Structure 1
Amino acid sequence: MTSLVPTPVHVRAPGKVNVFLKVGARQDDGYHDVAIAYQAVSLVEDVRAYPADDFSVSFGGSVDTSGLVTDGSNLAIKAARMLARRTGFRGGVRLEIEKNVPIAGGMGGGSADAAATLLACDALWETGMARDDMLALAAKLGADVPFVLVGGTAIGTGRGDQLSPALAQGTFHWVLAIAEFGMSTPAVYEELDRHRERHQRDIRPAEEAPSVDAEVLQALRAGDARMLGDALHNDLQAPALHLAPGLGRILELGEENGALAGIVSGSGPTVAFLAPDADAALELQVALSAARLTAVRAHAPVHGARLVHD
């Protein structure tokens, strides 16, 4: 019987900003529980999957992809292999990925590639995986991967992968200042642990099981950008600024040019600025570009990973 699946299978998946990130105490295994409020943004990755005997990936797009690995350690290849193992599929896939989300920028670009690959391969191979099973598989690939499948606005707890949808209305306008360097998430967490040790007499001990502040949920529910600007928070911002002090000047520059607030996204180094409306976002983008920063506009929330019919 001939397959009705069009080739290639094309899936589009969004990047994300964390409007809130609280990090719990370091556990015995070295990991931390977190509480995150995620928003999927209109900066997207496009993944096309073609039938093949083995597994391969190539990259293009608006960001420099020359440093990306294309072997079995690539997260998209890991996602495809994991799905094949789980479903007993014996073939492979050739992936072509068009990247627009900054690499190692704290916006979940690699997670978006992995989520899109799961969806694309499931459609290409006609493996028919149930949604809950795919979310469980996604969680094994990284804490942000399940969120990219779900999209919209959500709260993540545990390692960030225990998701519950958050009520959000309206559209939030973001301007993203994209650094010319990446940051290692483990290095930023290590710096957070050192920061907490250095200042343990001055700061309250970290919670074992952190939660998202009520003010954040209220601002999202109201669709109120000013209220959300006041509630933005990221425990990883201080260690990221310690490792990359230049990010502090970028935060100042955005807030001097009309941003309601700025926040380091995830473990950095992308800085996300919340603007009051679309016009203010355009003015802020122009001001940041004039300061020779790479700045892109995005709106949120948007859909999670989904099939695109070319």
Structure 2
Amino acid sequence: MQEIDLADNLQFEETQEGVRLECNDKNIPVNQDNLVCKAANLILKECGIKKGVLINLEKNIPVGAGLGGGSSDAAATLKALNSLWEVGLNDGELMEFAAKLGSDIPFFINGKTSLCSGRGEMISPVEVRSRMDYLILFPRVHISTETIYKNLKIDLTKKRKDVSFFFGCTEIFGGCRHCQVAV
């Protein structure tokens, strides 16, 4: 996974109790099923916090584009509330909380460039030794990650040949031993 320079904006205001979310995008649910609310409620419950928060979410990451917008917002919420409420969780503990919310959310605690395995929650940082530019195209087609994985047909027991993960991976990552993936 690769962190990119595209982000939603989140603002947090301490309140007396509860979690309330406001968003500039009317297509984003602002109820307690939103990952941002789930992250806030997780910290409240697990850390015994007796406060509340009003969260304002300004969406810039396209919804349903596979760029991790909701997951990165949940991770940002965990980090922000850890600081706002002076909870004192370290990155490892924040990653454990993040894993309770979703498979790719732990990645967004630290970001950068990483190889992810398991469900996505096992993260191995990778040193990138040369600059890489990306062009991200968004065809304005919204597909939920859940829908993609429900429809993905992979035989997990069939032996598959390893194929190259990146062309020129050795040059980019300086001899990275993780340059092959099973497809």
Could you say whether these structures have the same fold, taking a TM-score greater than 0.5 normalized by the shorter chain as the test? yes
Alpha-carbon distance in structure 1 between the residues aligned to 2:99 and 2:78: 12
Counterpart of 1:58, as a letter, is E
8 A Cα contact 1:51 1:93, kept in partner: yes
* Aligned residues of 1:39 and 1:152 also touching (Cα < 8 A): yes
Q: Percent identity?
A: 28
Distance 1:219 1:45, change over 3 A: farther
Larger Rg: 1
Indicate yes or no: 2:19 matched with 1:55.
yes
- Give 5+ residue unaligned stretches, structure 1: 1-37, 197-204, 223-230, 236-310
CA contact (8 A) 1:47 1:120 kept: no
Q: Distance in 2 between matches of 1:213 and 1:155?
A: 16
Check if 1:162 corresponds to 2:138: no
Say which SS state the counterpart of residue 56 (structure 1) adopts.
Answer: strand
2:46 aligned partner? 86
Contact between 1:39 and 1:154, CA under 8 Å: does it hold in 2? yes
8 Å contact kept, 1:76–1:113: yes
Higher RCO, 1 or 2 (CA under 8 Å, sep at least 6)?
Answer: 1
Spell out the pairing of 1:92-131 with structure 2 (5 A cutoff). 92-131=52-91
CA contact (8 A) 1:45 1:101 kept: yes
From 135, 143, 148, give the equivalent of 1:188.
148
Q: Evaluate the alpha carbon distance shift between residue 175 and residue 206 of structure 1 in structure 2; reply closer, same or farther with a 3 A threshold.
A: same
Matched residue count: 175
Counterpart of 2:120 in 1: which secondary structure? coil
Residue of structure 2 in register with 1:45 after alignment: 8
More helix, by proportion: 1
Segments of 5+ residues of structure 2 without an aligned counterpart are none
Shift in alpha-carbon separation, 1:234–1:44, aligned structure 2, 3 A: farther
Residues in 1 aligned to 2:159 and 2:123: alpha-carbon distance in whole angstroms: 15
The amino acid of 1:40's aligned partner reads E
Q: What's the Cα RMSD here?
A: 2.7
Matching residue within 77, 98, 107 for 1:147: 107
Call closer, same or farther: CA 1:234–1:79 in 2, change over 3 Å: farther
Length-normalised TM-score, structure 2: 0.84
Letter in 1 for 2:2: Q
Kept in 1: contact 2:10–2:55 (CA 8 A): yes
Instruction: Read off the aligned partner of 2:128 and give its amino acid letter.
Output: A
Bigger proportion of residues as strand: 1
